[in-house]
Amino acid sequence: MPRGVQGAVLRLLRAPEHVLAVTEVRELPPYTEVTVRCPTLLGASAATLPPTTWVRMWIPEGGREHQRAYTLTRVDRATATARILFLHHTPSGPASRWARTAEPGDTVPVQLLGGTSYRPPREDDSVLLVGDGASAPAVAEALSHAPAGCQTQVVLAAQAGHLPPGVSPGTGSHTLTLVDPGGGQERVLAAVSEVLADAGTPSWAWVAMGSGTTRAVRSRLLNAGVPRRSIQHQAYWVQGKAMGTSGPAQPG
């Protein structure tokens, strides 16, 4: 199927391509969790992937393939499997519709380019993770791989009952601040400022939300004295823009 300009660019960049095979599908509202297997990407002989790794999926629909990016979670190298959480939006897009109808045995091609830049914190770091429903699976991955000595604060624009495993209150050793996902950018910034006032300036931060909010949170952290090199940021979506239609794909 045609992949358009993005596909041509990835071919020129020689982005490695793999095929994920669906082995299990289950509903975890507001997500659909799809378990996939791929020895060349996830197996014991493949390169170890850092937490929050995302892949560029090519979703078939309407006679073409649409690029969408999603985080690999709970990678098991012994079985060459991982789980992908598809967050459902209104209106739904190609990836959401594909996940809802996926069945064991289905396959989907993916490419790996730009999704492995996560920098794990050190043992004695104080860490701040800021995300939303789209990046919550990546937050869960970051938490599961955080060194035991880290003091980890999480600010998440999401509903309490709609969080992936490992993020919910009472799980792990992190401190969670939930923000009304409909409250807008100012609510997120206020929550971040409150965490900074209570917990102090973090030595390391990771921010992944909508493009505008990601920029605003990064600016707030810089103004609070967090070194530029200690802030990792990634826009996971753009308001009013369908992913994969133009420009670089963003993870979800």
CATH of the domain at 168: 3.40.50.80
Question: Is 158 in the same domain as 221?
Answer: yes
Question: Is 100 in the same domain as 46?
Answer: yes
Residue 250 belongs to some domain of the structure: no
Residue 242 belongs to some domain of the structure: no
Question: Is 102 in the same domain as 141?
Answer: no
Question: Is 8 in the same domain as 105?
Answer: yes
Reported as a pLDDT band with limits 50, 70 and 90, residue 250 is very low
Question: Is 156 in the same domain as 89?
Answer: no
Question: Is 102 in the same domain as 181?
Answer: no
Residue-number span of the structural domain to which 70 is assigned: 4-111
Residue 17 belongs to some domain of the structure: yes
Last residue of a domain, one of 66, 81, 111: 111
Question: Is 75 in the same domain as 159?
Answer: no
Reported as a pLDDT band with limits 50, 70 and 90, residue 33 is very high
Question: Is 98 in the same domain as 134?
Answer: no
Question: Is 88 in the same domain as 145?
Answer: no
Question: Is 133 in the same domain as 38?
Answer: no
Question: Is 59 in the same domain as 157?
Answer: no
Quick: pLDDT tens for 200-236.
Answer: 999 999 999 999 999 999 999 999 999 999 999 988 8
Residue 213 belongs to some domain of the structure: yes
Number of domains within the chain: 2
More confident residue, 115 or 13: 115
Q: Which residues contact 77 (CB under 8 A, 6 or more apart)?
A: 42, 43, 44, 46, 48
Reported as a pLDDT band with limits 50, 70 and 90, residue 247 is very low
